[in-house]
A and B are shown apart, each in its own frame.
Chain A
Amino acid sequence: MSASDAATLRVDRLTVRYGGRTALADVSLSARSGELVALTGPNGSGKSTLLRAVMGLIAPQGGSVRVEGANVPELGLIERARRVAWAPQEEPIGENISILEYVRFGRHPHLAPFANEGPADHAAVERALRRVDFWEERSRGIAELSGGERQRVRLARVLAQETPLLLLDEPTAFLDIGHQLDALERVQAIARQERRCAVVALHDLNLAARFADRIVVLSHGRCVASGTPKEVLSPELLADVWGIVADLRWDPVTGLPYLLPVLPMDRPPLAGTVGPRPMARVHVIAGGGSGAELIPRLAREGFEVSVGAVHLFDSDAELGERLGVAMATEMPFTAISPPVARHLEALLEACDAVVVAPVPTGSGNLANWSILAGWAGRRPVALLPMPREPSWDFTGGAATRLREELLRSGAEEVGGVDDVVRWLRARLPDTATRSSRPSA
């Protein structure tokens, strides 16, 4: 049918206000048959509100919602229910009816007033139940189902409604990772094979990226991005919308992007996670990704971190930049110059302790070691163990000698990142005076 080219759902400049608060502002989106569109955004961004407004459960203050060309608010309830099916995150379980009876409820809009279900209805219910692999278990009571089973049965109820448009509000809520994948795989298959259009609210971006043909991102009731997962997902968007630092990576198997959240930016550490010395300042010598675990961890533990010297565009330099820590940076492919060396010395002077990551060392960053060796003894220094293979020392042994010199002059080798945190806590008792809290 040529209808497949036209949009099944077209939302145009939709605005919804609740008691003075604007829940949706000028949101536009469209979705075609065969497509799974993920609606994503932080909590309270308006995902559920948008689905409810499309279903017609909320009257919008402006804009229009069209399903297969028909204006939803003008449709009668039954007409709406024949075009749009909606599954909320959670439904009350009143009586313990059977799965079969529950899924049969989806046929209501297709029944004449006061009529009972006919053969076509029974066939639709059976198809829906087979689709979610529940036909054989149709006489079980819904109150006995687990969360994952309940989600599948709810999907069957919505499928039995046989609408061109499916609205699913967090169909993976309360599910473990296996059931999350299972649920979305089914929705994707249904959309593609039955040429239906599924609009799914999902707060999990990786699930959205994995299964959605297109992603629509809402933030504070506005549509801030829309497109394929590749087009939409970017570290900038994540920083803007969710306020998180995340690495965007590519799944080599699916060829799809996925995200690895790092930690919240410009946000104070959570209460209770902060150590007794929130102001204790730790300088980290890293580079080449050797600080990838250490630097964010120290920041999360409540230490004020500085980094350097590192080269611009080095992954540790980018990490430091995202975290907003003080850094001494040098231009790429250049040896550490005197001004950067002075900057490093200033950072060392300002810190309470130094931690050296297993940093691959060449002529470009050898000066880190020599400056630290010349300055040793004035602050506690922890050295993380260097890998035996591959070699980290590209200076013909100069860096190794400087490291041994540091160990002789009081630096300590500490086993891992956890040990570093413990070591710092033990080493910096008196810095508690820097915090506003009285020392214990």
Chain B
Amino acid sequence: MNAPPGEPVPREEAAPPRRWGPLPLRVLVPAIVVGLFALLVGSTALGSVPIPAATTISIFFHQLTGGFVPSVACPGSVASHQCAIWTEIVWQARVPSLVLALAAGAALAISGGSLQGIFRNPLADPFLLGLSSGAALGAAAIFVLDVDPAHQAALLPLAAFLGGIIPGAVIYLAATLSRRGPTVLILSGVALSTFFSAILSAMLLYNPSSDVSLNFWLLGSLGATSWSDDGLVVGVTLVLGTVLYLRAREINLLQLGPEVAQSLGVRPQRTIQWTVLLTTAITATAVAFTGIIGFVGLIAPHLVRRLAGVDYRIVLPLGALMGGIVLLVAWDVAVAAIPPIVIPVGIPTAFIGAPFLIYLLYRRRAPGGSALDA
């Protein structure tokens, strides 16, 4: 290439340790992946029906490997009819919830990370910006309008997406037109969120025929899910998350302001528009099956930035894994806190998220400008 002879070509390994991101990826990525998997396996033991942990783990691996390892689902001491019931509970009720926790956590974290990047706003989060409640309102409309249950599963994410379009457009306009600081964007989002939640509450209260629980939509739940729902959330999150990931380099450049980004070959408006659209779709898909779960999209990207630095090519994929971990932990807490009751999963996330938000608000340096300020 154009490297002059005699000058050594630097390599990644030659880079000195990063002071601002203490952990190298070769440590961080395996740690996160192993931690996530261990958490997933361990979480199978939690639930309203007491099943020994060794048994649930055994069932999990038996089912996961298609009956290969271990060759019998339950240890020998378990009666076969009991084993069949437990297998049903673990593999058809518990694990789908756990997988949904991973997928929805990833979806929310990717959304939050991308929004934080394009708006150059560390407080951006699909819940705080009102995307989640807009989507929840859209999805709830499907139940209230008595849509044929056969079509519900397919229509839910679509309705949620349509519901999320309104707050999506509002935050896009607020962020790109207003020259006010990042806190104003978040406050507008919180106002929208409160407004949508109020409509949602009213809709569900005055529609007693609906068997959908209000708590489920307002505070989130992972309990009522199935493998097919999971498949949809996992698929959409993977596909749209990959599309966003491919734009991560552009999101990086937006950190230098829209004009510099443009001088380097990025169309800032287009990147912001696409990102808002994609995060709305990802968030809506997750919300359609989980209800409103706050703060995961705020916490997970921050943890990753703290651990691995601020390159969005790392923040988005690692943030997705971290979002899965955060939501999985929250779900475990929701299941195990007051057995046999499962509390809405939005409660534990709020317990971690609200203090975290306050910490961010007070820690922040001088307020920045709007997303399109130079």
Contacts and interface: CB of A to CB of B under 8 A. Distances in A.
Interface of A: 52, 55-57, 77-78, 80-81, 84-86, 88, 90-92, 94-98, 100-101, 105-106, 108-109, 111, 113-114, 116, 119-120, 122-127, 138-141, 161-162
A126 B16 contact: no
Given A92-B256, A97-B310, A161-B264, A139 B19 contact: yes
Nearest to A141: B20
Given A88-B260, A120-B2, A127-B7, A109 B265 contact: yes
Give the most central of A52, A90, A101, A127: most B CB within 10 Å. Answer: A101
A76 to B, nearest CB: 8
Interface in B258-314: 259-260, 262-267, 305, 309-311, 313
A114 B1 CA distance: 20
Nearest to A121: B1
B374 interface: yes
Contact of A139 (B18, B262, B305): B18
Contact of B262 (A77, A122, A123): A77
Interface of B is mostly: loop
Given A77-B267, A123-B9, A92 B1 contact: no
* A-B pairs, 3 with minimum CB distance: A120-B1, A95-B310, A123-B3
Given A92-B256, A105-B253, A109-B264, A123 B1 contact: yes
A90 B259 CA distance: 11
Interface string B2-45: 11000101111001111110000000000000000000000000
Nearest to B249: A108
A123 B310 contact: no
B353 interface: no
Contact of B264 (A105, A114, A120, A126): A105
B264 A106 contact: yes
A427 to B, nearest CB: 52
Given A55-B263, A122-B9, A126-B7, 7 more contacts: A88-B259, A92-B369, A92-B374, A97-B20, A111-B249, A123-B1, A139-B15
A85 B10 CA distance: 23
B246 interface: yes
Nearest to B310: A95
8 contacts: A91-B256, A92-B257, A98-B20, A105-B252, A123-B7, A138-B16, A141-B19, A162-B2
A111 to B, nearest CB: 7
A86 B3 contact: no
B368 interface: yes
A139 B262 CA distance: 26
A98 B18 CA distance: 8
Give the most central of B3, B12, B120: most A CB within 10 Å. Answer: B3
Give the most central of B256, B310, B369, B373: most A CB within 10 Å. Answer: B256
Interface of B: 1-3, 7, 9-12, 15-20, 120, 246, 249, 252-253, 255-257, 259-260, 262-267, 305, 309-311, 313, 368-369, 373-374
Contact of B263 (A85, A90, A114, A127): A85
B308 to A, nearest CB: 12
A120 B1 CA distance: 6
Contacts of B266: 77, 108
B260 A86 contact: yes
Contacts of A84: 263
B18 A88 contact: no
A108 B253 contact: yes
A100 B9 contact: no
B374 A96 contact: no
A35 B371 CA distance: 36
A58 B19 CA distance: 39
A84 B12 CA distance: 27
B137 to A, nearest CB: 32
Contact of B1 (A78, A94, A119): A119
A91 B259 CA distance: 9
A153 B251 CA distance: 20
Contact of A123 (B2, B255, B311): B2
A133 to B, nearest CB: 16
Given A88-B374, A127-B7, A141-B20, A94 B260 contact: no
Contacts of B374: 88, 90, 92
B120 A92 contact: yes
Given A77-B262, A108-B253, A108-B265, A96 B20 contact: yes
A77 B10 contact: no
A122 B255 contact: no
Contacts of B3: 119-120, 123-124, 127
A139 B16 contact: yes
Given A92-B374, A138-B16, A139-B19, A123 B10 contact: yes
B249 to A, nearest CB: 7
B260 A81 contact: no
Contacts of B120: 92, 94
Contacts of A138: 15-16
Give the most central of A97, A124, A162: most B CB within 10 Å. Answer: A97
A127 B3 CA distance: 9
Contacts of A119: 1, 3, 9, 11
Contacts of B260: 86, 88, 91
Given A86-B263, A109-B264, A116 B313 contact: yes
Contact of A114 (B15, B20, B246, B253): B246
Nearest to A79: B265
Contacts of A91: 256-257, 260
Contacts of B264: 81, 105-106, 108-109, 161
Contacts of B309: 97-98, 101
Contact of B305 (A92, A95, A108): A95
A125 B253 CA distance: 16
Contacts of B7: 123, 126-127
Give the most central of A81, A92, A120: most B CB within 10 Å. Answer: A92
A382 B38 CA distance: 94
A165 B3 CA distance: 20
Give the most central of A84, A95, A101, A139: most B CB within 10 Å. Answer: A95
Contacts of A125: 10
Contacts of B15: 100, 138-139
A159 to B, nearest CB: 13
B263 A101 contact: no
A105 B256 contact: yes
B19 A77 contact: no
B262 A57 contact: yes
Contacts of A106: 264
Contacts of A116: 313
